[in-house]
Amino acid sequence: MSACGDKELQLHGLLDGELDAVNTLACEAHLRVCPGCGAEFQRLQSLRTALRAPAVRFAASPALRARVAAALEPSRTPDTAAAVLTQRPARSFSIWAASAAVAALAAVCVSLMLVYWSSPGLADELVASHVRSLLATHLIDVEASDRHVVKPWFNGKVDFAPPVIELADAGFPLAGGRLDYIHGRVVAAIVYRRRQHVINLFVWPAGVAGSAGPASLRQDGYSLTCWTQAGLEFCAISDLDRGELQQFRASFAQRARP
Question: So where are the chain's domains?
Answer: 5-52, 56-115, 121-255
The per-residue pLDDT for 100 is 55
pLDDT for 136 beyond 50: yes
pLDDT classification of 142: cutoffs 50, 70, 90: very high
pLDDT(110) > 50: no
Section 132-160 average pLDDT: 90
Over the stretch 173-213, which tens digit does the pLDDT of each residue have? Answer: 999 999 998 888 899 999 999 999 999 999 999 876 555 55
List pLDDT tens digits, range 160-169: 999 999 999 9
Q: What is the per-residue pLDDT for 182?
A: 86
User: What is the average pLDDT across 47-53?
Assistant: 63
CA 62 to chain CA mean position, Å: 35
Q: Average pLDDT, stretch 99-118? A: 45
Which of 53-57, 116-120, 217-221, 222-226 has the highest average model confidence (pLDDT)?
A: 222-226
- 103, pLDDT greater than 60: no
Long-range contacts from 212-220, C-beta under 8 angstroms, 24+ separation = 212/116, 212/117, 212/118, 212/119, 212/122, 212/123, 213/115, 213/116, 213/117, 213/118, 214/116, 215/116, 215/117, 216/242, 216/245, 216/246, 217/117, 217/123, 218/242, 219/123, 219/124, 219/127, 220/127
121-255 CATH choice from 3.30.200.100, 3.40.630.30, 1.10.1040.50, 3.40.190.10? 3.30.200.100
